[in-house]
Structure 1
Amino acid sequence: MTLPLAAYRHDHDHDGHDHDHDHDARGGRLVQIEQDIMAKNQRYADANRRYFAAHGIFVVNLMSSPGAGKTTLLVRTVEALRDRVPVAVIEGDQQTGLDAARIAATGVPAFQINTGKACHLDAHAIGHALDHLPALDGGILFIENVGNLVCPAGFDLGEAHKVVILSITEGEDKPLKYPDMFHAADLMILNKTDLLPYIEFDPEAAVSYARQVNPQIEIQAVSGLHGDGLDSFLAWLEAGRLAM
């Protein structure tokens, strides 16, 4: 969350009239509100995490900018998993239930959360969504967050891992432009690799930039459309599930 410009203190002199517009007080209130929001969210996230741990549910929070191919990759992933383990999806969008419908068409349970003007999912909404999904003991829950490379990075949902999907159509510099997102993620998926012959994109630079921001980040290359590289992602998911 970014403070508005009004929170920026300026107590300089305008034509000899020294004033500070009470910006310190307003800024202080805004900071306190932000802290309260984050603390409340963390309490819900901690409760979610306890629930997931008690039921052996491996939870992945998928994040990206709009159009990076999250849902297409997710459809392929749940189709590969649905006959192996319990799996379900929570979909986050500002409006429509289109993505949840795409998931449901695979036969996998899906629940849509529409955030309205909010640019991210929060832990309280995830807790309520669980009431609308079947038991997932020993399974995998995917949370497809709202398409945004800023806000979702700061909100813990109780997940085991944050995964950021970077489409090669977005350019290799996104980890440097949106460092909080790539610093928060444990795995970066370079998606739409089938377009590499047609797009000016430097995969080595993208990897280098991501590791400048987060030296520990794992990186996989996948074509969500064709399934190339999907086996590595499935193996990563299975290892995480078995570690619960």
Structure 2
Amino acid sequence: MCATCGCDHESSVLIRKVEAAKTLDLQGLQLTKLPTAAEPPRRIQLDLEQDILLKNNLKAERNRGYFMAKDILALNLVSSPGSGKTSLLERTLSDLNGDLTFSVIEGDQQTTNDADRIAATGAPVVQINTGKGCHLDADMIENAIQKLGPENNSVVIIENIGNLVCPAMFDLGEQSRVVIISVTEGDDKPLKYPDMFQSSDLCIINKIDLLPYVNFDCELAKTYARQVNPKLEFIELSATRGQGLEDWYHWLKSRVHEPAVLK
């Protein structure tokens, strides 16, 4: 978790609501100062790690209770960078406009680039910039929810930071976790990053339109993932070409009408 990777982000987190814009605003971009060889490594005790997770889990349960009370389906989208999370989210918001009511929480270390894309679809969106942080946590989500003000009987989609390691450890209060991989990645991802696949409810295999051009075996990837999580569901799709999107939309709509439960 982040005690190992050196993530220390509380003072640099920026949470803001993003409206649709026509130009890219680079003001406020903060570059992280990398440690030098002269700086000693941080040592954090295991009990501190446990305290961090305990505090997060308590806040996650509060978020989950909020979502349940308002009949909100909250999804946590996780992946490595470049898997196509934002493209899939854009397409989903556009295609299901009028069928479901959405609001979005975007997580990135810097910029509002993805939030700007989401705002252009008309969906309410809040951007969380974590600075040095490599994951979202439940406290950030609680603060973002206050700015977002999601409607009752709606869907809140959290697009986590592109990272298959640390986000696996942090419950945000979501009802379901959706891990996205693309065929341009290795089909052994589930074995390399087992915690993320073990903690997810659905695995989306994206960019299947590129299968003729890459060495990726979908069935082998599923086999590896089932070794980690036998209950994991799978959907194969292409967010850009539209293949398989109906399966994703069916899964999403079925969860909206499914009674929420405390985990």
Could you state the TM-score of these two structures normalised by the residue count of structure 1?
0.88
Alignment of 1:145-224 (within 5 A): 145-224=160-239
Equivalent position amino acid for 2:136 in 1:
L
Please identify runs of 4+ aligned residues in structure 1 that moved more than 2 A: 2-5
Measured in 1, the distance between the counterparts of 2:185 and 2:4 equals: 28
Is the Cα–Cα contact under 8 Å of residues 63 and 165 in structure 1 kept in the other structure? yes
Q: Aligned partners of 1:128, 1:48: CA distance in 2, in Å?
A: 10
The aligned runs of 1:14-33 (5 Å cut-off) are 30-33=45-48
Q: Identity of counterpart residues, as a percentage?
A: 54
Question: Is the 8 Å Cα contact of residues 86 and 137 (structure 1) preserved in structure 2?
Answer: no
Per the alignment, residue 119 of structure 1 pairs with 134
The Cα shift of 1:136 comes to 2.0
| 1:218-237 correspondence runs (5 A) | 218-237=233-252
Q: 5+ unaligned residues in a row in structure 1: which ranges?
A: 6-25
Is the Cα–Cα contact under 8 Å of residues 2 and 166 in structure 2 kept in the other structure? no
Aligned residue for 1:78?
Answer: 93
Q: In the alignment, what sits opposite 1:14?
A: none
Can you give the 5+ residue segments of structure 2 that lack an aligned partner in the other structure? Answer: 6-41
Deviation at 1:183, TM superposition (A): 0.4
Q: Distance in 2 between matches of 1:184 and 1:4?
A: 20
Question: Secondary structure of 2:184's match?
Answer: helix
SS of corresponding position for 1:107: coil
Larger Rg: 1
Which one has the bigger helix percentage?
A: 1
1:4-153 mapped onto 2 (5 Å cutoff): 4=4, 30-153=45-168
Name the CA distance, whole Å, in 1 between partners of 2:124 and 2:3: 38
Aligned with 2:234: secondary structure?
strand
TM-score normalised to the size of structure 2? 0.82
TM-superposed deviation, 1:222:
0.8
2:141 and 2:234 map into 1 onto residues whose CA distance is 27
User: In the alignment, is the contact (CA less than 8 A) between 2:87 and 2:239 conserved in 1?
Assistant: yes
Residues matched between the structures, number: 223
CA distance in 2, matches of 1:156, 1:149: 14
Task: Pick 1 or 2: higher relative contact order, CA cutoff 8 A, min separation 6.
Answer: 2
Distance 1:130 1:140, change over 3 A: same
104-113 or 75-84: bigger deviation: 75-84
The 3-state SS of whatever aligns with 1:209 is helix
